[in-house]
Amino acid sequence: MAANRPKGHTPSAPAWCVVDFPELTAYSMVFSKGPGNTDTLAELQAALTGGENRPDHVERARVVNFTDGGDDADEAQSDVETVFMAYWVDPAVYERWRDGCDVLERDGVYCETAVIPAERWETIAGTKRPLPGVRNLTSVDLTELHDYWGAARDRMAASADDPFEAAPGSPLPANLCLIRSGQKWDECLDDEREMYFTDIEPKLRAGIEFLAANRDSGCISSRFLREQSIHGEDLESTSFVGWFDDLASLEAWSRSHSTHLAIFHSFLSTVHLLGRPPKLRLWHEVSVLPEGGVELVNTELSPLAELIA
């Protein structure tokens, strides 16, 4: 059911989404903050890439610290917060990994883990080419459910029967919403790169900073990540990771707030000025978590700690 799709709507461009999610996926973000965490990062990397309980897919990034003057090489080597994003198709395997990973007890290490039912998340991308995220666990296919407001909700199967309203829960509220939205410019030619970094990327940063500074937006946590190789080298890719009180809060910011509309219109303007199909690859994955679907390790270090009942 596509409750929000306008009658007769035809997308203006093709898009691809995951169509066959695992029944349950454990998606864990494992954070470690330095300086002095080199050994911890090496052990986390080893734990996430080896052993029988390792995740089915893992990625690495660093959190961009806007208060230190932006994303630069000095920041990359100093007090950086690193995050590993790990995906397990079997939450029981994740639990065995968590229980056997002693490095999670180190100072400065904490985890935010979502156990996501297949019917409670969705993805979208303007390409079927390789991208980060859950799509590495399964296949993607063309979708007609995009290019209109409310399409993300329509792509979640459970939305046909569930409004996903924020609700009390224990230990965390029900229907928290998690988004990871990415930008990958590794294939862009020089003119498109200049357009991206001159017009789109500053507006993207402004939107992420707005959400981080305005709790009344419904955003609990807003992080801007510079994607890295598993060994810690920066890639030509970023992503925004945000926790929201509910899907409606994310939708409201996306649809009507000036900071997101600026991002949206700058991309459309760039496509128009470019005069050819863009090489910039944009994608996102969004999930809505049922009560009990979010677990914190070293709770006090996570911004989600404020919500614990």
pLDDT in tens, 240-299: 999 999 999 999 999 999 999 999 999 999 999 999 999 999 999 999 999 999 999 999
Q: What is the DSSP letter of 176?
A: E
pLDDT band of 35, cuts 50, 70, 90: low
Give the mean model confidence (pLDDT) for residues 131-150. 96
Q: Copy the structure tokens of residue 293.
A: 């679907």
The pLDDT value recorded for residue 108 is 92
From residue 133, alpha-carbon distances to 18, 77, 123, 179, 239 in Å are 11, 25, 9, 11, 10
Q: How far is it, in rounded angstroms, from Cα 28 to Cα 306?
A: 19
Give the mean model confidence (pLDDT) for residues 51-55. 97
pLDDT band of 78, cuts 50, 70, 90: low
Q: Count other C-beta atoms under 10 Å from residue 280's C-beta.
A: 22
pLDDT band of 33, cuts 50, 70, 90: confident
Name 208's bridge partners.
none
SS3 of residue 2 by DSSP: coil
Q: How far is it, in rounded angstroms, from Cα 304 to Cα 245?
A: 10
The pLDDT value recorded for residue 67 is 58
Give the mean model confidence (pLDDT) for residues 145-156. 96
Residue 208 has pLDDT above 90, yes or no: yes
* Percent of the chain at pLDDT exceeding 90: 91
**Which of 27, 18, 15 lies closest to 288 in space, CA to CA?**
27
Give the mean model confidence (pLDDT) for residues 116-123. 98
The pLDDT value recorded for residue 37 is 86
Q: For 265-274, which contacts have Cβ atoms below 8 Å and span 24 or more sequence positions?
A: 266/199, 266/200, 266/203, 267/200, 269/199, 270/192, 270/195, 270/196, 270/199, 270/200, 273/195, 274/191, 274/192, 274/195
The pLDDT value recorded for residue 169 is 95
The pLDDT value recorded for residue 77 is 47
Helix axes 247-256, 258-274, angle to 10 degrees: 50
The pLDDT value recorded for residue 148 is 96
**Which of 132, 278, 280 lies closest to 201 in space, CA to CA?**
280
Across all residues in the chain, what is the average pLDDT? Answer: 94
Can you say whether the dihedral through the CA atoms of 61, 65, 71, 75 is positive or negative?
negative
Q: Copy the structure tokens of residue 206.
A: 């402004």
